[in-house]
Every structure is written in structure tokens, then in C-alpha cells.
Structure 1
Amino acid sequence: MKITKEEVRNLFKHLENGDADSFFANVSANVDWTVMGTHPLAGHYTSLEDFRQNTFKRLAPCLTAPIQLVLKTVFIDGDTAIVELQATSQAKSGWDFDNQYCWIIEFRDKKIVRVRAYLDSNMVARLIAEEEESTKVYFNRG
């Protein structure tokens, strides 16, 4: 059974409403998730837990509020969906985190099994670098 635009839109409503756990309940525990780019979150993750720990949970401390995701576009071809998302929040250092994402999502039995995520690498790298630099602890050896 193929995925529909309506099903994808309903799934993403969870993220739009700040209910990430309900969204991720529709993702395979063994998801194959690749975050493209050359920033600290880029990489190939082979489990949902690995993905969440190394992306969503790493971003959270860098922001003043959770990212607000808004689904902009959905394209469906069989069991593959291509979605464009707008992600907004504010960096702790005060600038607007306004990123655009494109995810290519493969479904099996209505569950997400593979994702390739594209985003603004420079923006994510800046966000992570600023936060990690500001929280460094320096020890006086004297």
C-alpha cells in the first residue's frame, strides 16, 4: 500500500505541534537516516536512537526554544515522499535560526525506514560552534 500526501501531512503535524515523540513513533527503530553536509550533525545513522541523540538532542541546548518545523511541500512517488520543511527557532546568542530542510523519505508499511536530509550546513555549523565555544570550561592550572 502506497503512502499518500494526506498521510504524510498528518504525520508531520506531530512535528509542527511540537510532539516529536508521536512523529518518531512512525519511524523504524533501525531507520537508515543520512544527514547530508559538512557540519557537526552530518552523518549516517543506522538507528532512531543514534539519530535523535546526535541531531535533535545536540541542537536543543543551542537554542532558546525547540525548533518549530512547518511542512511546506510534499511530493509523493510510490512509497517515497519528498518534503520541504521550514525550521525556526533562535540561537542562544540571539540570531534567528531559520533553516530550510528537504527530506527524501522512504516508507515501508507506512513506517519511515530511510531518510536523506538536506539543510543549510553553514547555519548548523555556526549554531553548534557558538554554543559549544560558549560552554567550554577553562581550568586554571596555577
Structure 2
Amino acid sequence: MPHPTPSDLHALFNNLSSSGTRSKFFDRVADDVDWTITGTNALSGHYASKKEFVDKALGTVNGVLENPQGLELRVLNIVAGEEGEWAAVELRADQRARNGMQYNQEYVWMCRFDQRGMIVQVRAYYNGNLLNQVLEQNA
């Protein structure tokens, strides 16, 4: 499979908008993905596998959200490189934490795809202060 087209990318990342389709997104993430969350917040660091990222990072966020289905992300923008190897994806969550606090978070994920169309590397950027507040207030 060649690198994903802009249309493929929109379809792929739109799967993050619902727990019912989230697995379709993660089916395209390599088991040994190199996922880095930048910054100095509670989840910053390097995750050496899909399982580690889903369990530790995504699981932590999902655990403080009011919605039992977890984080639901809406695609705002996607910019793909000419060769299709890299894509920058801007995502937004408009949700509430268990204590009622708004969790209106924007993410930018820089994703690298291999020749099979699998995501093999991600660098994630977001408002770490907001994340820390939500985690502290919903511990």
C-alpha cells in the first residue's frame, strides 16, 4: 500500500471521533510505534509501543472524562507532505471531566507513515497545563 492520500488521512483520523470506530484508527498504528508526547506534563515522554500509549496515555485521559466511551477527537486540519510519508493532524476534543470541568483540548500529531500506510512514529503536542489541571482535579 502506498502512503495515504489526503482523502485516506481524513477517513483514518475521523475514526477517532467515536469509540465505535476508534479501533479502525489503531489498526493502522504499528504495534512498535514510536510515540512521543512533548512538553513537561503528566503524560510527557516516550511510548515505545501502541499498547503502552493506549494503556498509559490514552487510558489516563479516558479515566478522568465524564464520557465512559473516552476521548472523542474531531479533525480540524490535515496537512500532508508531498511524498505522503508525514502528515500533521490537528484534532480537537470538546468534552467534560468527571468533575464537570471542560476539557476543550487541541492536539497536533505529527505522524510518519511507512510504505504499508502504517503509522510508525508520532510526535504529539497539546496544552499540557490543561491536561495537568484535569488530572489533578479528577484524581
TM-score calculated relative to the size of structure 1: 0.89
Matches within 5 A, 1:16-55: 16-18=17-19, 19-55=21-57
Question: Given the alignment, which residue of 79, 90, 98 partners 1:92?
Answer: 98
1:103 aligns with 2:105: no
- Is the contact made by 1:90 and 1:97 (CA closer than 8 Å) also made in structure 2? yes
Larger radius of gyration: 1
Aligned match of 1:11: 12
Distance in 2 of aligned mates of 1:131 and 1:53: 18
How many residues align structurally?
132
Gaps of 5+ in 2: none
* Deviation at residue 14 of structure 1 after TM alignment: 1.1
Gaps of 5+ in 1: 133-142
In structure 1, the residue corresponding to 2:130 is in which secondary structure?
helix
Distance in 2 of aligned mates of 1:72 and 1:20: 17
Distance in 2 of aligned mates of 1:61 and 1:119: 18
Sequence identity percentage:
29
In structure 1, the residue corresponding to 2:15 is in which secondary structure?
helix
Runs ≥4 residues deviating over 6 A: none
* Deviation at residue 38 of structure 1 after TM alignment: 1.1
CA RMSD between the two structures: 1.0
* Deviation at residue 63 of structure 1 after TM alignment: 0.8
Distance in 2 of aligned mates of 1:51 and 1:107: 17
In structure 1, the residue corresponding to 2:53 is in which secondary structure?
helix
TM-score calculated relative to the size of structure 2: 0.90
In structure 2, the residue corresponding to 1:64 is in which secondary structure?
coil
Distance in 1 of aligned mates of 2:17 and 2:108: 15
* Deviation at residue 68 of structure 1 after TM alignment: 2.0
- Is the contact made by 2:101 and 2:134 (CA closer than 8 Å) also made in structure 1? no
Distance in 1 of aligned mates of 2:40 and 2:94: 20
- Is the contact made by 2:41 and 2:128 (CA closer than 8 Å) also made in structure 1? yes
